[in-house]
A and B are shown apart, each in its own frame.
Chain A
Amino acid sequence: MDAHPLPMDIGAIAQLAEIKRIYSAMETSLPASGPVCVLVTSAERREGKTTAAAGLAALAASRSGRRALAVDLNWHAPALHRCFGLDLVNGTTLRDGASALESVRPTGVADLELLAAFASVPDGTDQNVLGTDIMRQARNAYDMVFVDASSVFPTNRRMMDPIAMSKAADGVVLVVLAGVTPRQHVRKAQMMLHTAGSKLLGVIVNQWRNPLV
C-alpha cells in the first residue's frame, strides 16, 4: 500500500474552518434537495483535487447523516484511496456502473464510503463512458457523491476526461494551485468546461505553494 499522501487525516481536514466555508459556499449553488454529484477537477496535475474531494466528502458525511461517497475517477494517477489507507480495486470483471459500485468500501469516516480507482479494467472499455455511468449510478445510490477526477491538462489517450464526465455531475469545482499554475491554463480549462455545458460551482484556491500566504 502506498504512503498516506496528506500530512493530516481526512477527519481533521474535514473539520478545518476553510473546508467548512468552501462547503457552505458550494451548497448555495447546489439543489436544496435530492442527491448531488460534484466533480472536482483542476487545470493541471497535483493542484489539490484529491485533498479537496476527500475533505468535502468527509464533511458532507458528517453533516446531517447524509450518505456520502467519494469516487476516484482519476484511474491514470489514482490517489484518493491513499487518503483513507485503502488499496486500489481490481476491475477485471467490471461491466458497468452498477457493478463498479459493488467495490465500494467503508472509509473509517462515519457515513462516508469510497469507490477507489480500478487498477485494471477489461480490454476495450471506454473509460469515459464507464466513468459517467458510475457517476450516474452513484448519484442514485447516495445523497452526496464527490468525484476526484483527473486534471484537464495534460491530455493523453488513457486519461478519463473530466470535461466529458462533468456533464453527468450537478456541479464542477475547479481547484487552482496558487503560486504555481499559470492563469492562462486555468482560464482555458474553465472555458472548456463552459463549452461542454458543465456547471462551474466555483473555484477552490489551494494555498499550499503560495509564497505570499
Chain B
Amino acid sequence: MGFLIKRYMSSIRTRGLWLLLAIVPPLLYLGLAYSRIDRYTVRQDVGISMDAPMTVATSPVDFVRMSDLLAKPTELFMDRLALRELYGRVHPGASIDLSGPQYEALLRAVDASMSLTALPKAGVRIAYHGENPETGGTLVEFFSSRLIKRAEEGVRRSHLAASRTMKKAGEPGGAGSQGPDAPARLMGTMVTEAHRAMWRPERLSPLVQIAIISLVAVLVLLGILEWADTSFKSERQVARYLGAPVLGSLPNLRKVSKTLGAWRRE
C-alpha cells in the first residue's frame, strides 16, 4: 500500500503540469457564461418635477413630494394595493393568496429588480434589472403608469387641500381650481438593454464545484496513467516478473556526480 501511495505521489510530481488541465473546465464555464446574455435592463423615463405631490398609499388624503418618493422607492414598489393589481396582470384569472408562494415570489422579484432614480433634468427613471425581459417590460410599464396616476391624484389632493385652507381663511378659490393638466408624462419609449458578464457572484458556487470536480478528475487520470504504466519501478518487481536474478542497480549518475562534486568541494 505504501509503495502504491509512493508511486501515485511520484506520478503527481512527475506529471505536475497535468494539474493545469484542472483549470480548463472552470475557464470553459466562465467563457460559456460570458457568451450568454443573461441580464436585461428595461427602463422607462418619466418626466416629473421633484416637487410634484404624490399620493400616499396608506392615506386617502395625504400626499408627499416626488423627492420623498425617490428617497424611499419602496413606497412606490411595495404598495400593497399596486402589488395586488400587478398580481392580477401577471397571473390573470388567478385568485390572489397574500401568503401564497406566487405572491411572495412577485414581492421578491419586484424588491430585487426594480429601481427608481432621478434624471439630471426634471424626471425619474424606473428600471428593471433582471433575467426576464418580458417580466421587466410588464413591471416597468405597470410602475410607470402607477407613478403617473399617483402624481395626477397627488395634484388633485393638493388642490383640494389648498382650497380647504383658503376657504377656512375666507380667501377666494376652491375645489374648482385646477393645476397643470399632466404633472407626469412618459419621456420616450421603454428601452430594453441586454447584458452579459464573465463573472457574477452567483457563479462562485458552481465554479468552485467545477474546479473541485476537475481537480479530482485530473488526479484520477494521473492514477490511471500510473496504473497503466507497465515499466518496472523497483528491483523487486524485476525479480518477480522476470524470475531472473537482479545483479544490482545503476544509480542516477547525474545525482551521484553532483553529490560527489559537492562532497569534493567541501
Indicate, yes or no, whether A interacts with B. Answer: yes
List residues of chain A with CB under 8 Å of any chain B CB: 6-8, 12-13, 16, 18-19, 21-22, 25-26, 29, 48, 51-52, 55, 173-184, 186-187, 190, 200-208, 210-213
What's the least CB distance linking A29 to chain B, in Å?
8
Chain B residues bordering chain A, tally (CB within 8 A): 31
Report Cα–Cα, A183/B231, bound state, in Å.
Answer: 5
The closest CB in chain B to the CB of A175 belongs to B250
Residues of B within 8 A of A29 (CB): 245
Which residues of B from 110 to 163 have beta carbons under 8 Å from A? none
Residues of A within 8 A of B95 (CB): none
Residues of B within 8 A of A13 (CB): 253
B245 adjacent to A184 (CB under 8 Å): no
Whether B242 is near chain A, meaning CB under 8 Å from some CB there, is yes
Which residues of B from 220 to 266 have beta carbons under 8 Å from A? 230-235, 237-239, 241-242, 244-254, 256-257, 260
A-B contact count (CB 8 A): 116
Whether B108 is near chain A, meaning CB under 8 Å from some CB there, is no
A21 adjacent to B250 (CB under 8 Å): no
The closest CB in chain B to the CB of A13 belongs to B253
B250 adjacent to A184 (CB under 8 Å): no
Assuming A203-B247, A212-B233, what are 13 further A-B pairs, CB within 8 angstroms? A8-B256, A18-B248, A26-B247, A29-B245, A178-B233, A182-B230, A190-B242, A200-B244, A207-B252, A208-B254, A210-B233, A211-B13, A212-B6
Report Cα–Cα, A52/B250, bound state, in Å.
Answer: 8
B249 adjacent to A18 (CB under 8 Å): yes
Majority DSSP secondary structure for residues of B touching A: helix
Residues of B within 8 A of A19 (CB): 248, 250
B249 adjacent to A207 (CB under 8 Å): yes
Report Cα–Cα, A183/B11, bound state, in Å.
Answer: 18
What's the least CB distance linking A169 to chain B, in Å?
15
Report Cα–Cα, A17/B14, bound state, in Å.
Answer: 28
Whether B10 is near chain A, meaning CB under 8 Å from some CB there, is yes
Whether B7 is near chain A, meaning CB under 8 Å from some CB there, is yes
Known contacts A26-B247, A174-B244; decide if A205 and B10 are in contact (CB<8 Å): no
Residues of A within 8 A of B233 (CB): 178-179, 210, 212
What's the least CB distance linking B258 to chain A, in Å?
8
Known contacts A7-B254, A183-B241; decide if A205 and B6 are in contact (CB<8 Å): no
Known contacts A200-B244, A211-B13, A212-B7; decide if A206 and B249 are in contact (CB<8 Å): yes
Q: Please tell me which one of the listed residues A183, A204, A211 contacts residue B249 in the complex, with CB atoms under 8 A apart.
A: A204
A179 adjacent to B248 (CB under 8 Å): no
What's the least CB distance linking A20 to chain B, in Å?
9
The closest CB in chain B to the CB of A191 belongs to B242
Residues of B within 8 A of A206 (CB): 249-250
Q: Please tell me which one of the listed residues A16, A176, A177 contacts residue B256 in the complex, with CB atoms under 8 A apart.
A: A16
B245 adjacent to A25 (CB under 8 Å): yes
What's the least CB distance linking A87 to chain B, in Å?
23
Residues of B within 8 A of A177 (CB): 231
13 contacts between A and B (CB under 8 A): A8-B256, A8-B260, A12-B260, A22-B248, A52-B250, A173-B247, A179-B232, A180-B231, A183-B232, A186-B242, A203-B246, A205-B250, A212-B10
